Amino acid sequence: MLILARRTIDGLALMAAVILVAVAAYTSADALARKIAGTGLPGSVDVVGYGLGLVIALGLPYCTLNLGHVSVSVFVRKVPGKFGWLLRKFAPLASTLFFIVLTWQIGRIALKRLESGDQMWMLPVETWPIWIAVTGLLCVTAITQTTVLALPVSDQEEQQLARNEGEAV
């Protein structure tokens, strides 16, 4: 089961990378069109905004599972005793609560977009499918963060150290 979850999250990260490259290519083509033809590609603001929103939502589970979030591990490791342990446990708990609340709020927005038939600013494309997708992906992130929360702190630190050693090679 864990292998399937890991592969799924890796697949989401790969999709994020593909969309990021596509957004970069679209942005480059837009800049080139503006320079050569004096007018940009239609909907470039929409494509970049919603595309990057999807990139973030697709990449969050991967970053969460690999403990790739921003942290000040040097500071946290130097805090001794029970307070240090509480601090190391509180950060994943706060992240878990944050992702649960964020998922709920984005889900509410998605339902409002569905009811209103909201469309992108420049393109005649309804936005609710993107908002629903982001809600689902944030739900995956919340579940992933809950899993990370359940790991013993020593396992989290070993996972972080192993990942850092792999990057150094």
- What is the predicted pLDDT for the residue at 87? 76
Between the CA of residue 158 and those of 47, 128, 168, what are the distances in Å?
Answer: 39, 40, 15
**N- to C-terminal Cα separation, the chain:** 29
Supply the DSSP symbol for 42.
Answer: T
- What is the predicted pLDDT for the residue at 155? 55
Least trusted range by pLDDT, from 6-10, 28-32, 68-72, 88-92:
68-72
Q: Which stretch, 20-24, 62-66, 116-120, 157-161, has highest mean pLDDT? A: 20-24
126: three-class secondary structure by DSSP: strand
Calpha distance 62→68 (Å, rounded): 8
Span 26-51, average pLDDT: 93
Query: Left, alpha or beta for 71 (phi > 0: left; psi -120 to 50: alpha)?
Result: beta
Spatial neighbors of 118 by CB under 8 A, at least 6 apart, are 112, 126, 127, 128
Which pLDDT band, with edges at 50, 70 and 90, does 4 fall under?
confident
43-66 pLDDT per residue, tens: 899 999 999 999 999 999 998 888
- What is the predicted pLDDT for the residue at 160? 59
70-120 pLDDT per residue, tens: 665 666 667 777 887 777 777 778 888 998 999 999 999 999 999 999 999
Spatial neighbors of 42 by CB under 8 A, at least 6 apart, are 122, 123
pTM score over 0.95: no
- What is the predicted pLDDT for the residue at 169? 42
Calpha distance 60→68 (Å, rounded): 9
